[in-house]
Structure 1
Amino acid sequence: MKTISFLAVLPVAIISFSQLVAASSGSHGHQKQKPNFLVFLTDDQDRRLNSLDHLPLVKKYIRDEGTEFTNYYTTTAMCCPSRVSLWSGQFAHNHNVTDESPPHGSYTKFVSQNLEQNWLPLWLQEAGYSNNYIGKFINGVSPTLKRAPKGFDKDHWEPLVAPNIYTFYSPVFSTNDGPLEAHTGVYQTDIISDKSIAILDGLAKNKSNPFLFVISPTAPHDEVWFDDKGTVFTPPVPAKRHEGLFPGAKAPRHPSFNPDKNDKVSWIGTLPKLNDSEVERIDAIYRARLQSLQATDELVERIIKRLEHNGQLDNTYIVYTTDNGYHLGTHRMFAGKQTPYEEDTNIPFIIRGPGIAKNKKSNAVATHTHFPATVLQLAGLPIPDELDAHSIPVLADRSVYGKDQPTEAFSVEFWSNAFLENATATFTTNSYKSVRLIGQGYNLLYTIWCTGEKEYYDLVEDPFQVKNIYKHTKQSFLDRLDALLNVLRTCKGPTCRDPWSVIHATTNSKSKSKNHGSQKEVRSLKDALNKKYDEFYAGLPRFSFKNCLPYYLSANEVETPEHSEL
């Protein structure tokens, strides 16, 4: 049979964002003042390890006053790729920033890819927004590459600069595209807090201009040092006033914490069970992470009170999130990120503001790639069709979202060697592609590793992913997951937003199966599971890696013929 390629992207008109803004100015010209956006962006904060429950001020001012999205994810569990997806609305296979360091990651890669030419900050700036940033941007902002990317105001661009991005008592900032500003003996989050207040007060002098303001302390990330032996990770350092807090706290002993049986594949399946001293170190790191977040908790209260004092609060959407998750002792891993499992990908996302329900939890599915469309929708601005995800349904009034198909499936992807923080081991078989499927009655993770190994977890029955049931799952069901993953691995724009319609496009009529359905008939996994599609799905090509490479190369990710037994 002829194989069906899912590489084609649905056609879209090419038009600049400024043209879209101009075209929509008539419909928005008489609206009230556009809203402000303030984003608290932490670094490596977990959701599964319950750190949010140790932040009473975040609870008081954001969780209790807004909506928390429990099914919110990063699609690449590493700082640089995740942060670029947050601002670009693209999956990493589209923006191609896939690592922390050059040549495949960092600020250098971001600039070389010209990503600042087409991303949320620039779109907001073209619509009259003042965009401001303080704290960690992405790795690689250096003394020689510290300029503000397009979209951010040079007067309020103060990123942390390497090699002192992750040093809590000796941070270095680039001040407004100009000279470096080094600090010694003053806690990083407290400096960020003071700088943020000054920026807010400046913005309050001209309330007619809306603003985006990103505040990004590095807590609870490990402290990172560089010496002759390479990169050294040590536990995060709390402010002195928070030392000694939570003396009895231990990392949660979930079923995935240092399990007796290791069902994992690739390098993770080779890890031995943690010993008692390693578990004690994990608990010490857990306490240090909680302690380091207390200054961030205080920062949140201070900023929100100042917004209220300046008369800015009522017209401001406030977001609390992080770049990626973090694991401690899960699946026999010591500490770190970079895996497709929930500890690394399921992250905090809370939002408060006009029209958003208070003290609510939502199970709507969303990712960092959804963020730009969400901001643009709340700002009443046009949403470019090339974005890989649509708006998160954050408003209590869902009617404003029209016919947007709720997100059910998205990809989680990674191409880089793995390492465990506070350890010297490096693992070269950590490239993978996953599909996450979350809908009414199901919550699934299906992963294909560069080694050819596969994992499938049913998170309704097994929320901590301790039992790989791939070998015990019907092939007809796996056929659906293979087809979906094969679309999502190269998707762009509309293809990412509605992958089922791509699988069941009318071009599939060339398949040997006449029962291929149509774009309207199949909009979810539930629809796709109709038995009449068994033959159709069995005949579709699958995806596989040629080799384990520590970077994204499209030619290394190929379609293979349909299941050989069918």
Structure 2
Amino acid sequence: MRILALLTLVVSLAVAAGAGQGSSASPRRPNIVFIVTDDLSWNLVQYMPRLRQLQAEGTTFSRFFVSNSLCCPSRASILTGKFPHNTGIYTNGGREGGFARFHDSGLERETFATRLRSSGYTTALMGKYLNEYTPTRLVDGAPAYVPPGWDEWDVAGKGYTGFDYLLNENHRLRNYGHSPEQYVTDVLAAKGVEFINRVTNGRKPFFLEIAPFAPHSPYTPAPRHETMYLNLKAPRTPAFNESDLSDKPSWLKHRRSLRSLEVSTIDEVFRKRVQAVQSVDELLGQLQDALRARGQLSNTYIFFTSDNGLHLGEHRLAAGKQTAFETDIHVPLIVTGPGVPRRSKLPHMTSTIDLYPTFAQLAGSPIPLAVDGRSLLPLLSGQTVTGWRTAVLVEHHGPDVTRGDPDFPGPSAGNPISYRALRTERATYIQYSNGEEEYYDLKKDPYQLTNSAKLLKPLVRGALHSRLEALERCVGNVSCWAAAGGQ
């Protein structure tokens, strides 16, 4: 613990010193650009050349996981640095989730946005906020609500189709139509570039979050990308249309094999998802170009991730999420910035709850003890870090989406009952609310084909259960760090 604290201090001093060098017009602290996509899975990265170049220029976290594989709970964890059991946000709406629950619980009063803004950063959010947020929704008696912590706010409620959406532009409502130039990802890219050009005239550092709706369903690409990858098919991993589900939990084991029409639909969805992320890839490049033109690229950290992944044909499931399979919980995190090693891959167990404390430390702000995560800066320094956590927690309450929710699963997509999952460096252990279990040794079984929970020795099962219990009870970075095996 003392070594980790020392490394954190060294990195913080290096960031402050490095940012203070250069012209007097440059901000003393680094800028931060945070791109959080919607349902972007690892198998899409290979089709994004600018993102792959970002990997070459920076560090990839090869074991980065979400706290919950559903949009709103995951985004709540990102904003607060807390597990779902500490935010109370488990679903996209209703009593256990959605924007109203997040707002009414007072969670907006302490997010990374409020932390950075109070630390002197100019902050902006563009794109998606939380499920059930809409620009016209009355909040405290008025529409066009902007949460605390944001200087610039260009947010839509229903931008999933890519066109015909409404943006709340700093308390002003603006309708966008169906012309090609109004495609939502392109509009967000233009606004992001304009923001960078405007705020870099001053001395304050900035934090820019851009949250595209792509590649979320209905997977609408920009018109210019509609003819790309027309012969592409979804990856046929060993888990695709899995031949034997007899060892799986009851919510899954009785599913029939995917029929040819369903497989064709899955292939079409994959093609459209690949097409849809082309505009996201271009957005990344446009932001980099703007930073370079303003002389700010070398003083800016760029974080690229997703709120969750997506299964698409694996384990006989059509397009969906919410499970604890790797397809859903394991997402990209790619980082570039001052002092970040190039072409580096880090195997440390990391989580979406770590983003808030990372941003706070970059801003030179104290990290609240109530935050469950840990700053990633010691890992991004390129130095050897010992005593890092050895497991992460994934939580799910379900079935938890209703008709009208953009994440409502079709009959073949899967909607598991409530579970809690422990993802260690080697395995995934899942406990369901009905007492069923899953255990996958990912060294021997990377595609999670064989549920070996029944073969666990009592001592091993007991140890896994105890770790899950401790993680699900933890509050704040001290107890959550210890429960996850951190030293």
- Look at both structures and tell me which one has the larger radius of gyration over its CA atoms: 1
Matched AA of 2:44: S
Matched AA of 2:436: E
Match of 1:537 in 2: none
Match of 2:381 in 1: 396
- Decide whether aligned partners of structure 1 residues 427 and 198 sit closer, same or farther in structure 2, where only a CA change above 3 A counts: closer
- Decide whether aligned partners of structure 1 residues 287 and 427 sit closer, same or farther in structure 2, where only a CA change above 3 A counts: closer
Matched AA of 1:431: S
Identity rate of aligned residues, in percent?
33
Q: Work out whether 1:275 is the aligned partner of 2:255.
A: no
Cα contact 2:164–2:175 (8 A) shared by 1:
no
Q: Work out whether 1:435 is the aligned partner of 2:431.
A: no
Partner secondary structure for residue 57 of structure 2: coil
Partner secondary structure for residue 52 of structure 1: helix
- What is the alpha-carbon distance in structure 2 between the residues aligned to residue 210 and residue 31 of structure 1? 10
Match of 1:408 in 2: 390
- Decide whether aligned partners of structure 1 residues 421 and 246 sit closer, same or farther in structure 2, where only a CA change above 3 A counts: farther
Match of 1:149 in 2: 147
The equivalent position to 1:107 in structure 2, one of 96, 99, 123, is 99
- Decide whether aligned partners of structure 1 residues 41 and 428 sit closer, same or farther in structure 2, where only a CA change above 3 A counts: closer
- What is the alpha-carbon distance in structure 2 between the residues aligned to residue 190 and residue 333 of structure 1? 32
Partner secondary structure for residue 205 of structure 1: coil
Match of 1:562 in 2: none
- Decide whether aligned partners of structure 1 residues 474 and 30 sit closer, same or farther in structure 2, where only a CA change above 3 A counts: closer
Higher relative contact order (CA 8 A, sep 6+): 2
- What is the alpha-carbon distance in structure 1 between the residues aligned to residue 400 and residue 112 of structure 2? 30
Shift of 1:102: 2.5
Match of 2:171 in 1: 177
Matched AA of 1:423: G
Q: Work out whether 1:117 is the aligned partner of 2:130.
A: no
Cα contact 1:418–1:426 (8 A) shared by 2:
no
C-alpha deviations, 1:46-76, integer Å up to 9, x for none?
Answer: 01xx20000011222x111110111000010
- What is the alpha-carbon distance in structure 1 between the residues aligned to residue 380 and residue 312 of structure 2? 34
RMSD: 2.3
- What is the alpha-carbon distance in structure 2 between the residues aligned to residue 65 and residue 29 of structure 1? 22
* TM-score between both structures, scaled by the size of structure 1: 0.76
Matched AA of 1:58: L
Structure 1: gaps of 5 or more residues: 1-23, 224-235, 502-522, 525-566
Matched AA of 1:209: K
The equivalent position to 1:165 in structure 2, one of 159, 164, 169, is 159
Matched AA of 2:108: E
* TM-score between both structures, scaled by the size of structure 2: 0.88
- Decide whether aligned partners of structure 1 residues 39 and 152 sit closer, same or farther in structure 2, where only a CA change above 3 A counts: same
Cα contact 2:233–2:270 (8 A) shared by 1:
yes
- What is the alpha-carbon distance in structure 2 between the residues aligned to residue 430 and residue 215 of structure 1? 32
Shift of 1:166: 1.1
Shift of 1:275: 1.0
Q: Work out whether 1:201 is the aligned partner of 2:197.
A: yes
The equivalent position to 1:417 in structure 2, one of 387, 399, 403, is 399
Cα contact 2:310–2:319 (8 A) shared by 1:
yes
Shift of 1:364: 1.4
C-alpha deviations, 1:476-497, integer Å up to 9, x for none?
Answer: 1111101111111121111111
- What is the alpha-carbon distance in structure 1 between the residues aligned to residue 457 and residue 154 of structure 2? 54
Cα contact 2:317–2:414 (8 A) shared by 1:
no
Partner secondary structure for residue 125 of structure 1: helix
- What is the alpha-carbon distance in structure 2 between the residues aligned to residue 418 and residue 160 of structure 1? 23
Shift of 1:427: 7.1
- What is the alpha-carbon distance in structure 2 between the residues aligned to residue 374 and residue 329 of structure 1? 35
Cα contact 2:16–2:29 (8 A) shared by 1:
no
Q: Work out whether 1:387 is the aligned partner of 2:371.
A: yes
- Decide whether aligned partners of structure 1 residues 193 and 28 sit closer, same or farther in structure 2, where only a CA change above 3 A counts: closer
- What is the alpha-carbon distance in structure 2 between the residues aligned to residue 422 and residue 103 of structure 1? 19
Match of 1:220 in 2: 215
Structure 2: gaps of 5 or more residues: 1-11, 21-27, 139-143, 402-406
Cα contact 1:370–1:390 (8 A) shared by 2:
yes
Shift of 1:201: 1.2
Match of 2:24 in 1: none
Shift of 1:417: 1.0
- What is the alpha-carbon distance in structure 2 between the residues aligned to residue 430 and residue 308 of structure 1? 48
Shift of 1:28: 7.1
| Count, aligned residues | 452
- Decide whether aligned partners of structure 1 residues 28 and 306 sit closer, same or farther in structure 2, where only a CA change above 3 A counts: closer
Q: Work out whether 1:456 is the aligned partner of 2:452.
A: no
Q: Work out whether 1:293 is the aligned partner of 2:277.
A: yes
Partner secondary structure for residue 72 of structure 2: helix
Alignment map for 1:118-133 (pairs within 5 Å):
118-133=110-125
Cα contact 1:417–1:426 (8 A) shared by 2:
no
